[in-house]
Each structure stands twice: as C-alpha cells, then as structure tokens.
Amino acid sequence: MDFKEKCYKLVKKIPKGKITTYKEIAEALGTKGYRAVGNALHNNPNLVVIPCHRVVKSNGEVGGYVEGIERKIELLKKEGIPIKNNRIINFEKYFFRLNKKFK
C-alpha cells in the first residue's frame, strides 16, 4: 500500500460530523509530511468514498479543497460542524483522534 492509499484509508475512518487534521494523519503514518498528506488528498480519486473535506488545518482553519473552500464549508456544515470566518468553532469538540502509528 503506497502513501496515498494509507492516507485514504485513514480518512475513511473519520466519522460524519467529525474532523481531523493533516498533522494527525501524518503522525498516524509515522511522518511529519503534513504537506504530503495534503497533496495526497488533493489527488483523491473519489470524494464520496474518501471524505477528505473532514481534514482541516491544525489551527482550526478549514484549509483547501479540490472543489473549493466554499464547497468544503458547505459539506462540513451539512454534517453539523459549526464554522465562522473559515474556522471550526469548538474545534476540540469535533476533533477525531486517529490511532497513532497506523500500519
């Protein structure tokens, strides 16, 4: 399984109504390659099956999305995640921790 596939497998674990971060995914994969995670998600082959809109920046900002930030915000709000000024409100409440050192 290559790096992208590992990223996609982790993203599939994020429940509806929760978010995680690029950093959390990278750390679960045993790397500091946060940008590599972002690049992998930018090349997501199936946005429905691999819900990469649930991955945000560590500072609570929504971050980029292949279909645009407005679409990402729309999807997150539909899942009940409150957003103001492109930031997740009550970030910790919605944060989904991944198991460290995913294999």
As annotated, the active-site residues are 52
Tell me if residue 10 falls in helix, strand or coil: helix
| Angle, CA 16 vertex, CA 89 and CA 70 arms, to 5° | 55
CA–CA separation, 14 vs 103, rounded Å?
Answer: 16
